Amino acid sequence: MFVGRERELKVLEDAYGSAKSELVVIYGRRRIGKSSLVGQFLRGKESALAFEGIEGERTGAQIGHFTEALRSQTKDPLLDGAALRTWEHVFTYLTERAVADRSRKGKLVLFLDELPWMAAGRGRLVSLLKFYWDNHWKDRGVMLILCGSVASFMVKDVLRSKALYGRITVQLLLKGLTPPEACALFHGRRSAEEILKYLLVFGGVPKYLEEIRLNRSFAQNMNRLCFSVASPLTREVERVFYNQFREAKTYERIVVMLRDRMMTADDLRKRLGMVSGGGLTLYLSNLEQAEIIRSFVPFGRGERSKLRTYALADEYLHFYYRYIAPNRRAIAESESLRLFELLTEGSLDVWLGFAFERFCVKHAGRLAAIMGFGDQVLNAAPYYERGDRGFQIDLLFHRADGVVTICEIKYHDRPIATHVIPEMERKCGLVHLPRGHTCERALVSLHGPDEALRAAGYFHHYVTLDDLLGLAR
CATH number of 100's domain: 3.40.50.300
| Same domain, yes or no: 384 and 326 | no
Q: Residue 126 contacts by C-beta under 8 Å, 6 or more apart in sequence? A: 119, 157, 158, 161, 163, 164
Q: Is 15 exposed, middle or buried (0-12, 13-18, 19+ CB in 10 A)?
A: buried
Q: Residue 141 contacts by C-beta under 8 Å, 6 or more apart in sequence? A: 21, 106, 107, 108
Residue 146: band (very low, low, confident or very high) from pLDDT cuts 50, 70, 90: very high
| Same domain, yes or no: 42 and 108 | yes
Question: Which CATH number does the domain housing residue 302 bear?
Answer: 1.10.10.10
How far is the CA of 2 from the CAs of 41, 52, 66, 250, 270, in angstroms? 11, 20, 26, 34, 44
Percent share of the chain, pLDDT over 70: 98
215 in a structural domain: yes
Scored b (16 or more CB within 10 A) or e, 313-347 reads bbbbbbbbbbbbeebeeebeebeeeebbeebbeee
| Same domain, yes or no: 190 and 230 | yes
Closest by CA position to 239, among listed 160, 171, 348, 314: 314
pLDDT at 152: 74
DSSP bridge partners of 441: 406
Q: Do 442 and 380 touch, CB atoms closer than 8 A?
A: no
E strands in 411-453 = 438-445
| Same domain, yes or no: 211 and 332 | yes
188 in a structural domain: yes
E strands in 70-225 = 108-113, 142-149, 170-173
Over its C-alpha atoms, the chain yields an Rg (Å, rounded) of: 25
Q: Do 296 and 311 touch, CB atoms closer than 8 A?
A: yes
Task: Give CA–CA dist 322/162, Å, rounded.
Answer: 42
Residue 389: band (very low, low, confident or very high) from pLDDT cuts 50, 70, 90: very low
Q: Do 400 and 415 touch, CB atoms closer than 8 A?
A: no
382 in a structural domain: yes
Amino acid letter for position 187:
H
pLDDT at 388: 47
Residue 294: band (very low, low, confident or very high) from pLDDT cuts 50, 70, 90: very high
| Same domain, yes or no: 23 and 100 | yes
137 in a structural domain: yes
pLDDT at 150: 66
Start-end of H helices in 54-134:
59-74, 87-93, 115-118, 124-132
Q: Which domain holds residue 103?
A: 6-173
User: Across all residues in the chain, what is the average pLDDT?
Assistant: 92
| Same domain, yes or no: 421 and 459 | yes
How confident is the model over 96-133, as pLDDT tens digits? 989 988 788 889 999 999 999 999 988 899 999 999 99
pLDDT at 386: 54
Task: Work out the angle between the directed axes of helices 265-272 and 280-289 (0-180°, nearest 10).
Answer: 120
Task: Work out the angle between the directed axes of helices 34-42 and 6-16 (0-180°, nearest 10).
Answer: 50
| Same domain, yes or no: 25 and 112 | yes
129 in a structural domain: yes
Q: Do 109 and 16 touch, CB atoms closer than 8 A?
A: yes
Residue 156: which H helix or E strand, with range? none
Residue 390: band (very low, low, confident or very high) from pLDDT cuts 50, 70, 90: very low
pLDDT at 169: 97
Phi, psi dihedral angles at 361 (to 5 degrees):
-65, -40
Q: Do 452 and 356 touch, CB atoms closer than 8 A?
A: no
Other Cβ atoms less than 10 A from the Cβ of 249: the count is 10
DSSP bridge partners of 50: 111
Residues listed for the chain: 473
End position of a domain, from candidates 173, 197, 217: 173
Sign of CA dihedral 123, 127, 133, 136: negative
Task: Give CA–CA dist 288/402, Å, rounded.
Answer: 29
Please say if the pLDDT value at position 324 is more than 60: yes
How confident is the model over 365-385, as pLDDT tens digits? 999 999 999 999 999 999 876
Strands 461-463 and 142-149: unpaired
pLDDT at 379: 94
End position of a domain, from candidates 121, 152, 173: 173
Whole-structure pTM value = 0.92
306 in a structural domain: yes
1 in a structural domain: no
End position of a domain, from candidates 143, 173, 203: 173
How confident is the model over 159-170, as pLDDT tens digits? 999 999 999 999
Instruction: State the virtual CA torsion across 178, 184, 190, 193 in degrees, nearest 10.
Output: 20
47 in a structural domain: yes
Domain count, the chain: 3
- Average of pLDDT values for 214-222? 97
Q: Do 333 and 288 touch, CB atoms closer than 8 A?
A: no
| Same domain, yes or no: 408 and 323 | no
| Same domain, yes or no: 189 and 72 | no
How far is the CA of 196 from the CAs of 37, 82, 92, 191, 290, in angstroms? 24, 54, 51, 9, 22
Q: Do 114 and 75 touch, CB atoms closer than 8 A?
A: no
| Same domain, yes or no: 242 and 312 | yes
Please say if the pLDDT value at position 229 is more than 90: no
pLDDT at 450: 98
| Same domain, yes or no: 372 and 317 | no
Residue 301: band (very low, low, confident or very high) from pLDDT cuts 50, 70, 90: confident
Other Cβ atoms less than 10 A from the Cβ of 11: the count is 17
| Same domain, yes or no: 206 and 321 | yes
How confident is the model over 399-452, as pLDDT tens digits? 999 999 999 999 999 999 999 999 999 888 888 899 999 999 999 999 999 999
Q: Do 47 and 108 touch, CB atoms closer than 8 A?
A: yes
